[in-house]
Amino acid sequence: MSYNDNNIVVDVSCTKFCVGPCNSKEKETTKNKFLKPYSGGKYNKFCYPINKDSYLILKNVRICSSCNQRYMGFYDENEIESLKQDAKTIRKKLGI
């Protein structure tokens, strides 16, 4: 984890469970692949606002389908308050 200006930047490439706001901490294994992207790669980054001037930036993301759809929906609809709440949930889930 690092701080870039007012942002919290976390490389989650070694995290084996969904880093989104869901309750699941089920670990993905080589026999049980369920996180997106399904190709086995990683999304470059997901940015969740924390407040007016700062973001929680997750880098190298693998995420469950439900959390991915939730993020994309909130992002597309400019649901800033919902994204802020998700940032709080993710910080708690990841112990940040």
Locate 20 and state its tokens.
């989104």
> What is the Cα–Cα distance from 67 to 71, expressed in whole angstroms?
6
Q: How many residues does this entry show for the chain?
A: 96
Number of domains in the chain: 1
Give the pLDDT band of residue 4 (cuts 50, 70, 90). low
Give the pLDDT band of residue 1 (cuts 50, 70, 90). low
Q: Would you state the pLDDT for residue 3? A: 60
pLDDT in tens, 36-95: 998 889 999 999 999 989 999 999 999 999 999 999 999 999 999 999 999 999 999 999
Domain carrying residue 76: 2-94
pLDDT at residue 33 above 70?
Answer: yes
